[in-house]
Amino acid sequence: MDNRRIYHKDEILQVEITDIADGGEGIGRVDGYTLFVKDAVIGDTVRAKIMKAGKSYAFARLVQIVSPSDYRVPPRCPVAKQCGGCQIQELSYEKQLQYKQEKVKNDLIRIGGFSPEMIERIMEPIVGMDDPWRFRNKAQMPVGCSGKDSKAPTAGFYAGRTHSIIPVSDCLTGAQGNSAVVRAVLTYMKENNVPAYDEQSGRGIVRHILIRTGFSSGQVMVCIVANAARLPGCEELIELLRAVPGMTSISININKEKTNVILGRTTKTLWGSDTIKDSLRILSEDFTCSGRSVDFRISPRSFYQVNPGQTEKLYSLALQYAGLDGTQTVWDIYCGIGTISLFLAGSARHVFGVEIIPEAVEDARSNAVLNNIANVTFETGKAEEVLPAYIQRVKETPDVVVVDPPRKGCDEKCLQAILQVRPQKIVYISCDPATLSRDLKTLVSGGYQLQRVRPVDQFGHTVHVETVVLLTHKD
């Protein structure tokens, strides 16, 4: 029945790139056959060599750009291609935003089953970054040896999907001060003959450099992850790091396990404070001015939003969508360190947060104390288990439910618990438009109407996109 031509490995095809895949590859089609071409962007016409051929699709390598896309820009970062961090740095930022807006729209229509007219009518324009560079407040750089025969330490990033280190001291999406920290650590290692950790043999000492910067406070934290309980000659390390502007906390984390997990269980402060401070502002509707702000204390282990500038916008939008006037009871499901709970608390009667990771809940509770917020309570556990029990125990039902689940979306039992308590409003914050669309389908068939949708770009140059959605009950 199918007389389509069969494609083979090493064949070279010319193709126009029309879309972006979830992994960031350019997508092009030749007579219905789909090619995924890494490093090709929407609008390019390219020649690509098939590396792995399937029946209906293939992964191909870019051989030549026959005619470049109008949206193609030179990558700012010299290792944009090798490094796994940014997938679409060669697409102009405006086009990246347009792609993300379309992606959310298409998923809502295709997976959520909403009509294109309705989505067109209610969808608000994506909130982009004012400057899509230097936005990440956290860097975790692996440390290794520069070559097979060289013992000289190097730090950088893993090449996409591998464990070989590309030496880069400065990631352009990270904080400006990171390169000075990396230089200081490498200098210390060379001068004191402190070896980098070798994944293969399990020998050596320095595994990772973890750097966090409080963008509002200017405070910098460095944590050296080591395959040892102490760092030889660590006074010199401290001396060198103290010269970095904003240095507030220097610590060692001990990780002697042969594992991919970065942090070990024990952290010891070597110099300065155990934590750094940061705060997130609650912004007005047009994001120009702020009223209150919420303070956070961050330890090397803490979970904390990685792009604080866009987080302020995302959570301020969620607060606006919730439309609180001080009288409502709110649930914040998948609450992490309670960022949203604390954003909402000032406008709510009570906020109840649920989170699976005990350390995050501890952070949420101490952040509440730090901000003198008393009308929030948190419970540790799986949302799908905590909520049914909570409904039995506490008879009060919420007026507004906020969910901010991981990429796999909400558990079915969690959605059923929400439908059971029938809040007036549901605010859904999502980092995956596909699972968002799937869950919205369930909520809509449970009696809710989609009112507002707005994508927010938290991670420029990647294919990720966040979305805030407001649903209201039909009655």
Binding site for ligand SAH (CB under 6 A): 303, 305, 334-337, 339-340, 354-357, 360, 382-384, 404-406, 411
Query: 36: which strand partners?
Result: 27, 59
Q: Is the CB of 174 or the CB of 405 nearer to ligand SAH?
A: 405
Q: Which is nearest to 89 in space by CA: 100, 98, 102, 79?
A: 79
The nearest distance, CB 341 to ligand SAH, in angstroms, is 8
Q: Is the CB of 184 or the CB of 415 nearer to ligand SAH?
A: 415
CA distance 285 to 317: 7
**So which residues are the catalytic ones?**
431
- What is the residue type of 353? G
329-333 and 350-355: which strand pairing? Answer: parallel
Instruction: Report residue 368 as tokens.
Output: 């509440």
The nearest distance, CB 299 to ligand SAH, in angstroms, is 14
Half-sphere exposure of 465 (CA within 13 A, CB side): 30
Query: 143: which strand partners?
Result: 155
376-380 and 350-355: which strand pairing? Answer: parallel
CA distance 67 to 54: 26
Q: Which is nearest to 429 in space by CA: 351, 339, 348, 352?
A: 339
Helix residue ranges, H only, 323-357: 339-345
Contact 319, 344 (CB under 8 A): yes
The nearest distance, CB 165 to ligand SAH, in angstroms, is 28
The nearest distance, CB 271 to ligand SAH, in angstroms, is 28
Instruction: Report residue 89 as tokens.
Output: 């740095």
Q: Which is nearest to 157 in space by CA: 144, 179, 142?
A: 142
- Give CA angle at 459 (251, 29), nearest 5°: 135
Q: Is the CB of 123 or the CB of 354 nearer to ligand SAH?
A: 354
The nearest distance, CB 170 to ligand SAH, in angstroms, is 27
The nearest distance, CB 310 to ligand SAH, in angstroms, is 12
The nearest distance, CB 472 to ligand SAH, in angstroms, is 22
Within 194-345, strands assigned E span 206-213, 220-226, 247-254, 266-272, 276-283, 290-298, 329-333
Q: Is the CB of 211 or the CB of 383 nearer to ligand SAH?
A: 383
CA distance 140 to 135: 15
Instruction: Report residue 79 as tokens.
Output: 């290792």
Contact 165, 197 (CB under 8 A): no
The nearest distance, CB 466 to ligand SAH, in angstroms, is 11
Q: Is the CB of 209 or the CB of 360 nearer to ligand SAH?
A: 360
Q: Is the CB of 5 or the CB of 408 nearer to ligand SAH?
A: 408
> Phi first, then psi: what are they for 271, rounded to 5°?
-155, 145
Half-sphere exposure of 213 (CA within 13 A, CB side): 24
CA distance 128 to 385: 36
Q: Is the CB of 144 or the CB of 353 nearer to ligand SAH?
A: 353
Q: Is the CB of 90 or the CB of 355 nearer to ligand SAH?
A: 355
CA distance 147 to 263: 25
Among all residues, whose Cβ is closest to ligand SAH? Answer: 336
